[in-house]
């Protein structure tokens, strides 16, 4: 008995194969996501534990307070007790300087915008 040669796949068969392949991909992705959901509490616990250990390690390291940079010194709080009875001085000079710097920056920005507008053709 002679066997029939396989017929070329019809568009319907191709569509079914594509759907089956897509279904397998989606099933694999769902399994992967389910594993990730199942592992999430353990991963979160491990992360918090690691952060806690790192915090404890840094706290127990005992860095000296003298390591602080002088740039972090706040002018509002003075360590010397000489100015405790005086009123805080006025900040007019600082405010005036701040306004001048602001105006200079605004003028510089305006000049830059004008220069760009004249040299770039829109």
3-class DSSP string for 23-71: HHHHHHHHHHHHHHHHHHHHHHHHHHHHHHHHHHHHHHHCCCHHHCCHH
Record the pTM.
0.36
Domain boundaries, the chain: 11-59, 93-122
Mean pLDDT by groups of 10 residues along the chain of 122 residues: 67 92 96 93 93 88 61 62 63 91 97 92 68
pLDDT recorded at residue 71: 56
Q: How many CB atoms lie within 10 A of CB 93?
A: 9
pLDDT recorded at residue 114: 93
pLDDT recorded at residue 121: 73
pLDDT recorded at residue 84: 57
């Amino acid at each position: 008995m002679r066997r029939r040669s396989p017929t070329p796949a019809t568009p319907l068969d191709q569509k079914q194969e594509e759907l089956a392949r897509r279904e397998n991909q989606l099933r694999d992705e769902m399994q992967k996501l389910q594993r990730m959901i199942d592992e999430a509490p353990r991963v979160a616990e491990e992360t918090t534990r690691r952060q806690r250990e790192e915090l404890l390690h840094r706290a127990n390291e005992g860095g000296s307070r003298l390591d602080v940079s002088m740039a972090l010194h706040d002018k509002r709080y003075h360590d010397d007790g000489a100015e405790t009875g005086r009123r805080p001085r006025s900040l007019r000079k600082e405010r005036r300087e701040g306004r001048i710097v602001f105006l200079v920056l605004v003028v510089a920005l305006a000049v830059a915008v004008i220069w760009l507008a004249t040299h770039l053709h829109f």
